[in-house]
Structure 1
Amino acid sequence: MSEKPVIGFIGVGYMGHGMAKNILKGGYKLWIKGRSNRAPIDSLVGMGAQEAASPKEMAENCDIIHICLSNSPQVEAVIRGPDGILAGARKGLIVIDTTTADPTSTMTLAAEMAEHGVTFVDAPLGRTPKEAEEGMLDAMVGCDEDVFATIHPVIDCWAGSISRIGPVGTGHKMKLLMNFLGGAYAALYAEASSLAAKSGISPVTFRDVIGPSRLGSGFFNTFMQYVCERDENAHKFTIENLSKDLRYVNAMATDAGVMNVMASAARHYFTHAEAIGAAGDFVPMLSDHVARLNGLDMAAVIAKHGK
């Protein structure tokens, strides 16, 4: 690997655009591969990135490739496809998967790629697109210590907090634990908001009391920012994505032989929202679906009983 490795980035959406931008700002040569939305691709090309025709072409030209996609099947496709990473991989290539993925798939891919001389690292993300643009994401990294030393300067371009959790696979497991909490909190906040409204307490009052207390949190604040202020961009993470993560959490619990009553309960709210066509809604909008299940129009409640 050269002194300044050439970096690749597959998936330049909500999170990936900011991450890729900050890699460019770090002085690295960058190849990118997006999907159908040209806006982030054109933005990065305008900053100096080079667009790859395929993951194969990227693997032929890069030393370290990031993947930032929605799920494990997508990751598997860009690695194993006829024009995928393995089709163009050179010995010594490092692939960093920042997707929130299924750890079982991660371990299988890591073993498969090792046979080709490729090192697979899982480094899923914490925080939001805002922090991605600021270069202040949280990274939970699964890899050996020597690999961690190699990739740390690159990850440092887009992360404000970098934690090596353990060997490959542990990063994705840690991220699922984090998103288990997020999904359970979202279901809890949505249900509590409806209960408040049905009980004669404005969700705005509920927010104003809980927010500054020991029960408040950053997640609570952005969730309730949508509930109370109808700010659709308060937390730009889709119901579909968190529903997928909760399915992975349940599978992880099954593999570990752990009972998971809370994760299963939270999953049902998200599954219901997907079933009625709301998969693309952002997570705080779960509050509207839970409200409707209880005969409420949350927007009308806020308009009538807000401050």
Structure 2
Amino acid sequence: MAKLAFLGLGVMGYPMAGHLKAAGHEVCVYNRTAAKAEAWVAKHGGTSAATPAAAAEGAEVVFACVGNDDDLRAVTTGPEGAFSGLEKGAVFVDHTTASAGVARELGAAAAEAGFGFIDAPVSGGQAGAENGVLTVMCGGEEATYAKVAPLIDAFARSCRLMGPVGSGQLTKMVNQICIAGLVQGLSEGMNFAQKAGLDGAAVLEVISKGAAGSWQMENRGTTMLAGKFDFGFAVDWMRKDLGICLAEANGNGASLPVTALVDQFYKDVQKMGGGRWDTSSLIARLQD
């Protein structure tokens, strides 16, 4: 069993760290709000640390799942960041959805310091984290990935190395681009069904078995029709992710017209007070 650290105990990190502890590993956690780290230890055992550097001390692998590029820099290369506590030969695995640029920046810093770095954003949401069935997209060297893949299996249904450092983040961008279009299409379809006087539930049951079927339809169609959005992946987070996608596309020349439009639709939802609503709340702006 390995000696591990986990930085960031939000809705994703909290259960992910729990799966690692349940697998029998020694886990030390850090969270910006210490009370949450204490609550995690009370529930799962293990230990907590006051700083990322202290959590990383002596760890073979350090995992992180924080909010954005700035949060990630704070827990890695910032004052008392984990990079100052990592030993040569250790590995840092970042599950934050962040930019490919910051992944490459931190990958270079890790290589210079003598330890490995894997960018490994996840898909599957809070339910996927809690049930240990996340999809993990990784970037890094093959030998480094081989060291951490068995550990990631504790909370993943699927995990794959996509290329060098930054490739995991780029793959997650593709994931979010695809989701944005799917959710908007589903929103328009369900709103159309309601306006047309159809039984929305019956429509979902029929078309979900054909070419229109998708994860979003299976898992969000019914709650869309019911106007329930107090769960899932928040609009605020999705706009952060889409901002990363649009910035990357601006640099690589990719055209993302639908993504840019849906990003503005999510801005409308934020103006409606739905920043913490699930991303399926796109339908609400059509009914407003």
The normalised TM-score by structure 1 is: 0.86
SS at 1:174's partner residue?
helix
Counterpart of 1:264 in structure 2 is 260
Counterpart of 1:214 in structure 2 is 211
Amino acid at match of 2:273: G
SS at 1:61's partner residue?
coil
- Compared with structure 1, are the counterparts of its residues 173 and 210 closer, same or farther at alpha carbon in structure 2 (3 Å cutoff)? same
Which structure 2 residue ranges, 5 or more long, are not aligned?
none
- Compared with structure 1, are the counterparts of its residues 37 and 85 closer, same or farther at alpha carbon in structure 2 (3 Å cutoff)? closer
Looking at structure 2, the residues matched to 202 and 136 of structure 1 have their Cα atoms a distance apart, in angstroms, of 32
Query: Which residue of the other structure, out of 94, 97, 100, is the alignment partner of 1:97?
Result: 94
Please say if 1:21 is aligned against 2:6.
Answer: no
Please say if 1:283 is aligned against 2:279.
Answer: yes
Offset of residue 213 of structure 1 = 1.9
Q: Does structure 1 conserve the Cα–Cα contact (< 8 Å) formed by 2:121 and 2:137?
A: yes
Deviations 1:62-111 (A, max 9, x none): 22111112222211121122121123232223111111111112111211
SS at 1:96's partner residue?
strand
Query: Which residue of the other structure, out of 245, 255, 278, is the alignment partner of 2:241?
Result: 245
- Compared with structure 1, are the counterparts of its residues 231 and 38 closer, same or farther at alpha carbon in structure 2 (3 Å cutoff)? farther
Q: Does structure 1 conserve the Cα–Cα contact (< 8 Å) formed by 2:7 and 2:31?
A: yes
Q: Does structure 1 conserve the Cα–Cα contact (< 8 Å) formed by 2:133 and 2:155?
A: yes
Q: Does structure 2 conserve the Cα–Cα contact (< 8 Å) formed by 1:34 and 1:41?
A: no
Q: Does structure 2 conserve the Cα–Cα contact (< 8 Å) formed by 1:226 and 1:285?
A: no
Offset of residue 7 of structure 1 = 0.8
Looking at structure 1, the residues matched to 283 and 128 of structure 2 have their Cα atoms a distance apart, in angstroms, of 24
Amino acid at match of 1:147: T
Deviations 1:96-139 (A, max 9, x none): 11111111121112112322223221111121322322222111
Looking at structure 2, the residues matched to 131 and 44 of structure 1 have their Cα atoms a distance apart, in angstroms, of 21
Q: Does structure 2 conserve the Cα–Cα contact (< 8 Å) formed by 1:21 and 1:44?
A: no
SS at 2:157's partner residue?
strand
Please say if 1:163 is aligned against 2:160.
Answer: yes
Q: Does structure 2 conserve the Cα–Cα contact (< 8 Å) formed by 1:7 and 1:30?
A: yes
- Compared with structure 1, are the counterparts of its residues 256 and 102 closer, same or farther at alpha carbon in structure 2 (3 Å cutoff)? same
Counterpart of 2:29 in structure 1 is 32
Amino acid at match of 2:264: H
Offset of residue 194 of structure 1 = 2.4
Q: How does 1:1-307 map to 2 (within 5 A)?
A: 4-36=1-33, 38=35, 41-232=38-229, 236-292=232-288
Offset of residue 24 of structure 1 = 0.8
Which structure 1 residue ranges, 5 or more long, are not aligned?
293-307
SS at 2:274's partner residue?
coil
Q: Does structure 2 conserve the Cα–Cα contact (< 8 Å) formed by 1:12 and 1:40?
A: yes
Looking at structure 1, the residues matched to 37 and 81 of structure 2 have their Cα atoms a distance apart, in angstroms, of 21
Looking at structure 1, the residues matched to 42 and 283 of structure 2 have their Cα atoms a distance apart, in angstroms, of 38
Q: Does structure 1 conserve the Cα–Cα contact (< 8 Å) formed by 2:121 and 2:168?
A: yes
- Compared with structure 1, are the counterparts of its residues 202 and 291 closer, same or farther at alpha carbon in structure 2 (3 Å cutoff)? farther
SS at 1:115's partner residue?
helix
Looking at structure 2, the residues matched to 117 and 283 of structure 1 have their Cα atoms a distance apart, in angstroms, of 40
SS at 1:167's partner residue?
coil
Offset of residue 45 of structure 1 = 3.5
Q: Does structure 2 conserve the Cα–Cα contact (< 8 Å) formed by 1:13 and 1:40?
A: no
Q: Calculate the aligned-residue CA RMSD, in Å.
A: 2.0
Offset of residue 20 of structure 1 = 1.0
Looking at structure 1, the residues matched to 94 and 110 of structure 2 have their Cα atoms a distance apart, in angstroms, of 13
SS at 1:191's partner residue?
helix
Offset of residue 190 of structure 1 = 1.8
SS at 2:117's partner residue?
strand
Q: Does structure 2 conserve the Cα–Cα contact (< 8 Å) formed by 1:92 and 1:119?
A: yes
Amino acid at match of 2:4: I
Looking at structure 2, the residues matched to 72 and 290 of structure 1 have their Cα atoms a distance apart, in angstroms, of 33
Counterpart of 1:297 in structure 2 is none
Looking at structure 2, the residues matched to 212 and 266 of structure 1 have their Cα atoms a distance apart, in angstroms, of 26
